[in-house]
Amino acid sequence: MKELLAKLTGAFGPAGREEWVRALLLEELKQMGSPDSIVDDLGNLVVSRGNPENKIILVAAHMDQVGFMVTFIEENGFLRVTPVGGIEAKSLPGMRLRFRDGITGVIGQEKIKEQKELDFSKLYVDIGAVSLKGAQQQIQVGDTAVFDAPLMMEGNRYIAGAMDDRAGCAVLLETLRRLPRDLPQSVCFVFTVQEEVGLRGAQAVSYRINPHFGLAVDVTRTGDTPEPQFKTPVSLGKGPAIKIRDSSVICHPRVTALMRQVAEDKNIPHQLEVLEQGGTDAGAIHLSRAGVPSGALSIPCRYIHTPGEMVDHNDLENSVSFLLALLQTKW
Ligand SMILES: [Zn+2]
C-alpha cells in the first residue's frame, strides 16, 4: 500500500489536469493484467467487472486534487493565483508549490493590517523570476500548481498533499486487484475528474453508466484533534466511515443499512459520519438521470486540503476489506 500511495500522491493532478494520475492508474491496471478500461471524453477512467446484464454499482474515487491556477504575472515576475477547489488563504504564506514541470514557487503575502484581510488578492507566488519576461519563460497564465508535499510515513500514519482522494484511488485499485471474477452484480470502478470544483466528472460519467446504485470512496474530516473546528465523532484509525450525510447528499437508507450490515457481519471496524460541510461524488451520482440510491465509504483524514493530509494505514486496509465485502454482497 505504501509504495502505491507514494506513487499516487506524488502524481501531479489539480482538477482539470488529471492526465498524469490517469496514466499512472492505467499503468497499474496493465500490470495487474486488466487492460479493459475506457477513458470518456472528459477524462474519467472506467474499469468494469462482472456481468453487465446484472444490476450495476458505480464505485467512484476522484483523481483530481486541490491546487492553484496562475491568473496574472506582475512586471517584477511575481505570480498571482486563484484556488482550484477549496483552499483557505490564511494557511498559505510560506508554503511551497510545485508546477507540472517541476518548477517550485513559494507563497508570499502583502502587508495587511489585520489577519482577516488575508485573501487570495493579497497573496503572490515567487518562482525566483526577476521580470515579467523571465517569469513568462517558465510559466503562462492558466498554468496550475499543487502543494509540494510528497508522501511521508510516521508510525502508522501516512502524510501527503494529495491524500484527498488518491487514498480513495489506492483503495479502488487494491480492491480491483483482489476482487474475484464471480460477482452478484456488475461493478463499474470509476476514477473521476474535477470533483474538487463541483463533482463534474462524476455527473457526466453517471449518465453514461446509468447505474442502479452509487458509492463514492473519498476522505472525510475527523474530530479527534485538539478543539476541532467541527464536532464529528469520526477518528483516525477507528475504521472506514459510513457516510450518512454531507452537503451534497443524504445517503440512501437502503445503501447505508446494507453498509452497516456488511460491516457488522464481517467484523470490520467502522464509524458513522455526518459531515456538516463538504461534498463528494455521491452528490452528483445520486442525482443522475431519474435518481440513483447512493452512499459513500469515507476514509478518515486530518488536515484536508492542506499539504499535511493524514490517513491511517489500518483505515486504508479496512477500507479495502470493506469494499471487497460490499461488492461481493447482493445489493
Ligand atoms: Zn475528495
Q: What is the pLDDT of residues 153-194, one digit of tens each?
A: 999 999 999 999 999 999 999 999 999 989 999 999 999 999
- The answer to whether 27 is a known catalytic residue is no
Q: What is the pLDDT of residues 250-269, one digit of tens each?
A: 999 999 999 999 999 999 99
Tell how far the Cα of 138 is from the centroid of ligand 1, in angstroms.
Answer: 30
Residue 75 has pLDDT above 80, yes or no: yes
Tell how far the Cα of 198 is from the centroid of ligand 1, in angstroms.
Answer: 11
Catalytic site residue from 18, 28, 174, 195: 195
Tell how far the Cα of 62 is from the centroid of ligand 1, in angstroms.
Answer: 7
Work out the mean pLDDT of the chain and round it to a whole number. 96
* Residue 242 confidence (pLDDT): 98
Query: Is residue 248 classed exposed, middle or buried when 0-12, 13-18 and 19+ CB atoms within 10 A define those classes?
Result: buried
Contact 284, 206 (CB under 8 A): yes
Q: How large a percentage of the chain has pLDDT more than 70?
A: 100
Q: How large a percentage of the chain has pLDDT more than 90?
A: 93
275 CB-side CA count, 13 A: 29
Domains of the chain with CATH codes: 2-65+161-327 (3.40.630.10), 67-147 (2.40.30.40)
Residue 328 has pLDDT above 80, yes or no: yes
Region 143-151 average pLDDT: 97
* Residue 52 confidence (pLDDT): 80
Return the minimum-mean-pLDDT range out of 128-132, 137-141, 229-233.
Answer: 229-233
Residue 108 has pLDDT above 90, yes or no: yes
Residue 35 has pLDDT above 90, yes or no: no
Region 128-150 average pLDDT: 96
Region 208-229 average pLDDT: 96
* Residue 314 confidence (pLDDT): 98
Tell how far the Cα of 60 is from the centroid of ligand 1, in angstroms.
Answer: 11
pLDDT band at 229 (very low <50, low <70, confident <90, very high): confident
pLDDT band at 87 (very low <50, low <70, confident <90, very high): very high
Among candidate residues 4, 22, 6, 10, the one with its CA nearest the CA of residue 201: 22
pLDDT: is 60 or 35 the higher one? 60
Bridge partners, 158 (sequence order):
153, 311
> Could you give the angle at which helices 19-31 and 2-10 cross, rounded to 10 degrees?
150
